[in-house]
Amino acid sequence: MSGYFKDIVTGLKSLVVGMQITNKEFFTKPITLQYPHQSVKMYPRYRGHIELVKDPETGRNRCICCGMCEKGCPSGCITVKSEKKPGVKGKVLTAYILNFTTCSLCGQCVENCKPEAINFSNEYNLASTRREDYIFDLLQKLHPEGVPEPEVDPELLKKEQEKEEAAKKAAAEKKAAAAKKEAAPKAPAKEGGESKAEEKS
């Protein structure tokens, strides 16, 4: 019987102590933020999806299209598309596709990039109901008003054109020489060659 009363006393005591805390908290300032109107502070190191960095000097991206980010990515969510343009040193980035649906924000791509051409963005408001909305072309994102043409180096262009012409010339010469060479022994061998091809097909 005494145990019964003891239980009631300790129970009441624990209730009073607990309610004291609750009552105190009742009058403290709430810490909840009303989300769409207020939002929490974002930290500069926050890892959003990756983005291309704009070089402040040239106003373009710094990517040299080495493909290291693509190779190092554990989820294979990066596709770097590049092409050679006349008069431009190295390759030119034409598209940088990030499939954000599989990105794990690990940072391997950022670490692998030697020229520091990519970084994490601070973007977090990305809600959407469509999967396609998470496949970004980061190049388009970097230049929403249109991707600027790469700077053409006239000297390099001249050199390249010369080289190309020389190569063309060399190729033409080679072709002519080959034709000459073939012309002589070709006539007798022609028949056999053709029939062989026919057999194959």
The candidate with the shortest Cα–Cα distance to 123, out of 133, 111, 109, is: 133
Torsion region of 85: left, alpha or beta (phi above 0 gives left; psi -120 to 50 gives alpha): beta
Which residue matches tokens 């006349």? 86
Q: Which two tokens stand for residue 166?
A: 């020389």
Q: Which is nearer to ligand SF4, 39 or 75 (CB)?
A: 75
Give 44: exposed, middle or buried? Use CB within 10 Å, 0-12, 13-18, 19+.
exposed
Cβ–Cβ < 8 Å for 79, 70: yes
Compute φ and ψ for 38, nearest 5 degrees.
-120, 155
How far is Cα of residue 195 from the mean position of the Cα atoms in its chain?
53
Min dist CB 9 to ligand SF4, Å, is: 59
Q: Does residue 104 belong to the site contacting ligand SF4 (CB under 6 A)?
A: yes
Cβ–Cβ < 8 Å for 99, 77: yes
Q: Does residue 178 belong to the site contacting another protein (CB under 8 A)?
A: no
Q: Which is nearer to another protein, 58 or 75 (CB)?
A: 75
Q: Which two tokens stand for residue 168?
A: 């063309």
Q: Which is nearer to ligand SF4, 116 or 164 (CB)?
A: 116
Q: Does residue 62 belong to the site contacting another protein (CB under 8 A)?
A: no
Q: Does residue 23 belong to the site contacting another protein (CB under 8 A)?
A: no
List the one residue from 73, 92, 139, 142 that touches ligand SF4 (CB under 6 A): 73
Q: Does residue 119 belong to the site contacting another protein (CB under 8 A)?
A: no
Residues 78-117: x where in contact with another protein by CB under 8 A, - otherwise, as a string: --------------------------xxxxx--x------
Q: Does residue 22 belong to the site contacting another protein (CB under 8 A)?
A: yes
- Total site size for another protein, rule CB under 8 A: 26
Q: Which two tokens stand for residue 153?
A: 């180096």
Who's near 59: CB < 8 A, 6+ residues apart?
148
List the one residue from 48, 66, 85, 157 that touches ligand SF4 (CB under 6 A): 66
Question: Can you give the binding site for ligand SF4, defined by CB under 6 A?
Answer: 50, 63-69, 73-75, 77-78, 80, 103-109, 112-113, 115, 117-118
Question: Can you give the binding site for another protein, defined by CB under 8 A?
Answer: 7, 10-11, 14-15, 17-18, 21-22, 31, 40, 43, 45-47, 72-75, 104-108, 111, 120
